[in-house]
Amino acid sequence: MKVVLHAVGRTQDILPFLALGATLHEVESLADARDAVRRATEGEESVLVILSEEFGRAAEEGGAALVFLSPGAAGAERASLERMRGLITRAIGVDLIAKAERSARGAG
């Protein structure tokens, strides 16, 4: 089964997902984000949509697709960051966000 990856949001927030092979959908408004999510999930069997947190209300357009909210460059809401921390930790067994925070403070 092929999983299709899409990233929806402002350019600076979604550009890193290009390295994962995501199709980028650059948007500037919630209406544009809703349209992009709808287009990204049309006719696809297995879709993962990474949506900038700023446009989180567009997730309802995802239908059966898995929609993951990603903190934007402007800063994350704590709830989104904590949810991402839990998902990453469960997936790989390491809390990478905490490690990054410690490294940023110089505690390595």
Name 67's bridge partners: 49
User: What average pLDDT score do residues 12-20 get?
Assistant: 88
Task: Give DSSP secondary structure letters for 12-69.
Answer: HHHGGGGGGTPEEEE-SSHHHHHHHHHHHHTT-SSEEEEEEGGGGGGGGGGTTSEEEE
Q: What is the model's pLDDT at position 62?
A: 78
pLDDT of amino acid 35:
94
Is 40 a residue whose pLDDT tops 80? yes
CA separation for the pair 88, 95 (Å, rounded):
7
Please state, in angstroms and as integers, the Cα–Cα distance from residue 96 to each residue in 81, 87, 102, following that order.
Answer: 12, 11, 10
Mean pLDDT comparison of 28-32, 46-50, 77-81, highest-scoring range: 28-32
Q: Does pTM top 0.75 for this prediction?
A: no
Q: What is the pLDDT of residue 97?
A: 67
Q: In the prediction, which pLDDT does 28 show?
A: 94
Other CB atoms within 10 A of residue 78 CB: 9
Domain ranges in the chain are: 1-75, 76-108
Q: Assign 8 a pLDDT band (cuts: 50, 70, 90).
A: very high
Structure confidence at residue 17 (pLDDT)? 87
Question: May I ask the CATH architecture of the domain 1-75?
Answer: 3-Layer(aba) Sandwich (3.40)
